[in-house]
Structure 1
């Protein structure tokens, strides 16, 4: 008599968006504004009369509503301020267009990367294993970013138990990032680009036997050209951003390179537990990645040079586009059109480890697609404080509404924060995360269909996305994984944000 054991897939939860809930389910900020407005109105009512006091109270209530109403997670005040900033940028400062090259105002006539990457510099280091690595310096923030080229093993021939181990080890890896106080962010980029077939054709020519029959040789040559036709290559990379903690490292990139040379092998070596083979990207590879993203037409040129083992000769100062223009809902760069979405909300219920597969897999209607996951770890001390605070806020949200009328959202939030407390005791880390999704089309007429397909795939992945209106260029730069973390560049005032 035999028994069959069925491996059930592990179930995960995305957590909840951090927020502070006070009385009546409102945020602490909203309650504070309401209390201040009521106090002023009450004083006017006592000393100035009933009618002025009630009128001022009504005005305060009307002014409070746009702070409470927050479609897509942004208050109406925040949305209005952002719209005014876009109007100023579009029509007054005219900073939505970028021109580079000899006939531009760029110093030296170079083709520098635009926007948030304009002031960055690229440096070269060698780790203790002798591997060269490129290091992007963000001087304004005193931050450095290294990028690791990743080769995930895939899950087609992996049993369920190994998948669960890979997932668990990836969680441990992210938790360990919070143990280092100078790591401010990690970005995972998985992109699909059209396959050129050049590598396969070159491999066939190199391995072809000189005495091979003519018909067979011709068949293999033609197959090497036709097989990649219409196919895609999937590339993956991980970038880790560090904050320089000493004056020497802030001023001298060589000092930071020496520090990273010691630590980097452990960072990419530990990815093996998650089923990922990794090695640091060289400075030349980083330049090629940035340039072909802004100018997709150069992809074949870079691949041919890489196959031939020849340097491409492009400097970091010339890795940007010749011309780019950002619009409210898309981004034009060197003849290509890109659209960026940001994650408005994670999956609302539990999910398996394959939830993002619809977005990660190549799609015939999306020749160029890039999914970027951004992680910002808390330090061990801050993580414990954040978890306890979120748990207290969840309890308060339940109690403020009454146990009998508490909403399902409040109960779910309490359950998730309680679980987070238990996991924290067991050694789990705490981090903030977000996602960006970018598609690029050569023909602007294809953008509409590509956008519809993308939103359909996001629905299958149970992600709620919203188009990055008004900051398509910044979203595009952040999605490249070159060290740009959007939360560090917020332009709206903290006074008008929902929480």
Structure 2
């Protein structure tokens, strides 16, 4: 009897995987090890063949050059930090940190185009084989197409532990399945909280009391519809899937890609039912609405009211951007509000339950607008096998290099990579993932308090977040889930990043 109770109360624990990296000598990165080896050999040759003093001086110079590769600030090497700073100074000097649109701007046609990485994108429409219209964001430079699914997760209703575990496994299977076709390069899951306007509730109340004969009851319901949403938030969920065009026709003709997605899209949202998520494709008008609302929160009420009345908002993709935006080193100001974007510095170091992200996902009274974007980058089946074997080999090499007591983190990395190899052989997929967290405040004075609250919530969620310094505008666009993938727009050198 007691054994059965003990099994029932067990909660499944999950791991965060391992960070892919190449380890060289003495635990240094592969680039730092290569430079150190070259510097040591060069200094030794000079010292032996010419002058010992010159050899020591040359060794000291190499040490100074290599040090910024080894010393890290946050999760970046010092070379990468310096390169980001130089690029930021160039942006500030050229005025590219300030964006102005509209009739009195330099934007062609006086449009309110989206800024930055979204400026060159276009929006196209299609209809899938089930008759559902969908919008398709096209980025010509990378020949990438992004569709957005509106999602309604099951929520936090009473579920047994086996049911939760099964839903989590089905979500993992769904992500693994994204890597099978080979042309899906990313899936971004977005959960955001925005203030509730109460329009939808008011409309439902008005429809429900049309046939009411009690004036008192009708008045009570109207007053409740006004008071109930006050100070509350509504949670919205989306899933953006980015496809890579694989033929010449699809790279240049969005209509060809729309025909392909019309065939494949229903399976993409019907398979989510196994993970407890209902989903449907968002139309082009819905995509424009949430993007415009994100850059211009003041339009939120009008957009929701038009949606409830089933009327078109009349905003084109070329006019979905802000009228003004200014990018600072550590925040982003757009249309009178201030947003701060955080990026994931490191995943949870220890095992966790399926409720680990609840503190970040749950609406908070002091954070009116917040958005968590989980970015998944699936490997294809062939690349996944090579990656897990490479990570395991590197983890074992890092342990074998040390003659003394091996750290627990190094041993854990070996176990994690070995488990990944075994799971991959059994049919599991391999996915890279990261996270972006965005908070939006009405004024700049609210940012310090909101930031401290968010840092506290991220600590409770076992997620290490750091501000996306020097790239707040790009990170804001990436957190929307409209096809902007920061890894494809990296401006720092590979040597600096892998230092």
If the TM-score is normalised by the length of the shorter chain, which range does it land in? over 0.9
* Offset from partner CA, 1:385-435 (integer Å, 9 cap, x none): 000010011101110012x41111101111111111111111110011000
Q: Of the candidates 45, 48, 51, which is equivalent to residue 49 of structure 1? A: 51
Decide which moves more: 264-273 or 31-40: 31-40
Aligned to 1:234: 235
Structure 1 CA distance for aligned equivalents of residues 338 and 371 of structure 2: 14
Q: Distance in 1 between matches of 2:208 and 2:394?
A: 65
Distance (whole Å) between structure 2 residues aligned to residue 304 and residue 86 of structure 1: 40
Matched, 1:266 2:267: yes
Aligned to 1:34: 36
1:214 aligns with 2:215: yes
Contact 2:358/2:461 (CA < 8 Å) preserved in 1?
yes
> How big is the shift at 1:46?
3.2
Structure 1 window deviating more from structure 2 (54-63 vs 118-127): it is 54-63
Q: Which moved more, 1:190-199 or 1:416-425?
A: 416-425
- Aligned partners of 2:262, 2:197: CA distance in 1, in Å? 34
Is residue 73–residue 81 contact of structure 2 (8 Å, CA) maintained in 1? no
Contact 1:14–1:350 (CA under 8 A) maintained in structure 2:
yes
Deviations 1:6-46 (A, max 9, x none): 23211000012111112211122111111111222223223
- Partner residue in 1 for 2:71: 69
Indicate conservation of the 8 Å contact 1:70/1:498, yes or no.
no
Cα distance in structure 1, aligned partners of 2:394 and 2:75: 18
Instruction: Look up the match of 1:456.
Output: 456
Aligned equivalents of 1:359, 1:497: Cα separation in 2: 28
- Shift of the 212–90 alpha-carbon distance from structure 1 to 2, 3 Å rule, reads same
Q: Deviations over 1:194-221 (max 9, x none)?
A: 0000001011111104342111111111
Q: CA offsets per residue over residues 436-473 of structure 1, 9 Å max, x none?
A: 00000112211111111000000000111101111000
Give 3-state SS (helix, strand or coil) of 2:348's partner. coil
- Secondary structure of 1:313's match? coil
Q: What displacement does 1:106 show?
A: 0.5
Contact kept in structure 1, 2:325 and 2:334, CA below 8 Å:
yes
Kept in 2: contact 1:73–1:498 (CA 8 A): no
Asked whether the 8 Å contact 2:144–2:242 carries over to 1, the reply is yes
Determine the C-alpha separation between the residues in 2 that align with 1:98 and 1:212.
56
Using the alignment, how far apart are the partners of 2:497 and 2:127 within structure 1? 44
Instruction: Report how many aligned residue pairs link the two structures.
Output: 497
Give the aligned partner of residue 424 of structure 1: 424
1:9 matched residue in structure 2 = 11
Q: Is the 8 A contact 1:122 1:283 kept in 2?
A: yes
Root-mean-square deviation (CA, aligned residues, Å) is 1.1
> TM-score under structure 2 normalisation?
0.98
Cα 1:308–1:209 shift into 2, 3 Å: closer
Q: Give 5+ residue unaligned stretches, structure 2.
A: none
